[in-house]
């Protein structure tokens, strides 16, 4: 099942450079506050990925499936632009993948496998 994007993200291309730089600095300050001053760039990148569209995708997963018992694993690769996680739902495991290319929209994949059946949701 493919889920299409529901709306376009609109960014103000005409905002003053000062405002853009302030937003970048504010983001950096908040990430540093959350992760500490010595956090690696890949960790900062995946943290931003999780706070962005991944948070909506995981909310949709919980809405569809309920709360998982626990997180089995989470891993990032590609300098923080790829995130995979597996969640324990008792009788099945739900695996999610989120990929943010350097340009273009992000992709989200949710795999549910129960015995011999598999369902895949993609955004």
Q: In 42-81, at which residue ranges do the beta strands (DSSP E only) sit? A: 70-77
Closest CA to 102 of 76, 74, 80: 80
Q: Flag whether 57 is in a domain.
A: yes
Q: Flag whether 7 is in a domain.
A: no
Note whether 101 and 83 are within 8 A (CB): no
The pLDDT tens digits for 57-111 are 788 888 888 999 999 999 999 999 888 999 999 988 888 888 876 666 555 565 5
Residue 37 or 122, more confident: 37
pTM, full prediction: 0.70
Q: Flag whether 6 is in a domain.
A: no
pLDDT over 90 percentage in the chain: 34
Burial of 67 (0-12, 13-18, 19+ CB in 10 A): exposed
Counting other chains too, the contacts that 16-23 makes at CB distance below 8 Å and 24 or more residues apart are none
What range defines the domain where residue 110 resides?
17-122
d(CA 47, CA 41): 10
Q: Flag whether 3 is in a domain.
A: no
Structural domains in the chain (count): 1
Residue 27 or 12, more confident: 27
Note whether 110 and 96 are within 8 A (CB): yes
Q: Flag whether 72 is in a domain.
A: yes
């Amino acid at each position: 099942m493919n889920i299409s994007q529901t709306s376009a993200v609109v960014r103000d291309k005409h905002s003053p450079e000062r405002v853009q730089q302030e937003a970048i600095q504010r983001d950096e300050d908040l990430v540093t506050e959350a992760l500490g001053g010595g956090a690696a760039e890949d960790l900062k990148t995946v943290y931003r990925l999780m706070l962005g569209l991944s948070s909506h995708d995981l909310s949709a997963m919980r809405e569809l499936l309920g709360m998982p018992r626990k997180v089995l694993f989470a891993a990032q690769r590609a300098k923080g632009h790829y995130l995979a996680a597996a969640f324990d739902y008792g009788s099945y495991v739900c695996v999610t993948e989120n990929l943010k290319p350097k340009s273009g929209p992000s992709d989200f994949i949710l795999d549910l496998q129960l015995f011999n059946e598999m369902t895949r949701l993609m955004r």
